[in-house]
Structure 1
Amino acid sequence: MPADGTYTGVVDRFEGDLAVVLLEVDGETVGERALDRARLPEAGRSVDAVLRVEVEDGRVAAVSYDPDESERRSGRARRRFGELSSRPPAADDDPDSD
């Protein structure tokens, strides 16, 4: 269980009415919490949304949405996908080569 403090939270998935939020410190996952979807800010109710999660006395005390970090990560993922999809095919990927 992560210690009390403030974490970057990333919505990993939804399981029914629960949101599974990965807790990060310096970009490294240090734990996870399952929260009622209704506890998340409306803008943060999607997979990969980035949140600020405050843990006090071992419980999640506050959750807020971080639009800037969400957009930064989303943009980085789009760029990486674009780079991967624009790579020229390898010789063995060419269906005409035998």
Structure 2
Amino acid sequence: MTETYTAVLDRIVDGETAVLLLEADETVVDERILEVERLPEDGQHEGAVFDAELEADTVRELTYRPSVEQERRETAQERFDRLSERLSDE
């Protein structure tokens, strides 16, 4: 049975190991560790977002989603900006 998750590249360790956080409904549900070379080349950076297909609990395919990554970065920046404004008003 194939399952699909959103995966976010949390970090790269020693330039060789990628730590992916798997999400379902925008909640982290699991973590996978794999070799960086298994990631699509244009998504080999922290914060990269992928569609991850898992079969028998193994990552079978990763599809890089740059537009989703950009949306997430913009949303996070907007949240940060709103919080900064509130602090400066106090």
Matches within 5 A, 1:7-86: 7-16=5-14, 17-86=16-85
What is the percentage of aligned positions where both structures have the same residue? 40
> 1:93 maps to which residue?
none
Pairs aligned (count): 88
Runs of 4+ that moved beyond 6 A: none
- The amino acid of 1:15's aligned partner reads V
1:44, CA displacement in angstroms? 1.2
User: By percentage of residues, which structure has more helix?
Assistant: 2
Task: Give distance in 1, aligned partners of 2:34 and 2:55.
Answer: 15
**1:86 Cα deviation after fit:** 2.9
Secondary structure at the aligned position of 2:32 is classed as strand
TM-score norm. by structure 1 comes to 0.81
Q: Which amino acid aligns with 1:64?
A: T
Amino acid paired to 2:77: R
Give the secondary structure class of the aligned counterpart of 1:7: strand
Stretches of structure 1 lacking an aligned partner (at least 5 in a row): 91-98
- TM-score normalised by length of structure 2: 0.87
> Which whole-Å CA distance do the structure 1 matches of 2:10 and 2:33 have between them?
10
Larger CA Rg, structure 1 vs 2: 1
CA RMSD of aligned residues (A): 1.5
Q: Using the alignment, how far apart are the partners of 1:41 and 1:74 within structure 2?
A: 20
CA distance in 2, matches of 1:30, 1:65: 19
Structure 2, unmatched stretches of 5+, are none
Q: Which has the higher strand share?
A: 2
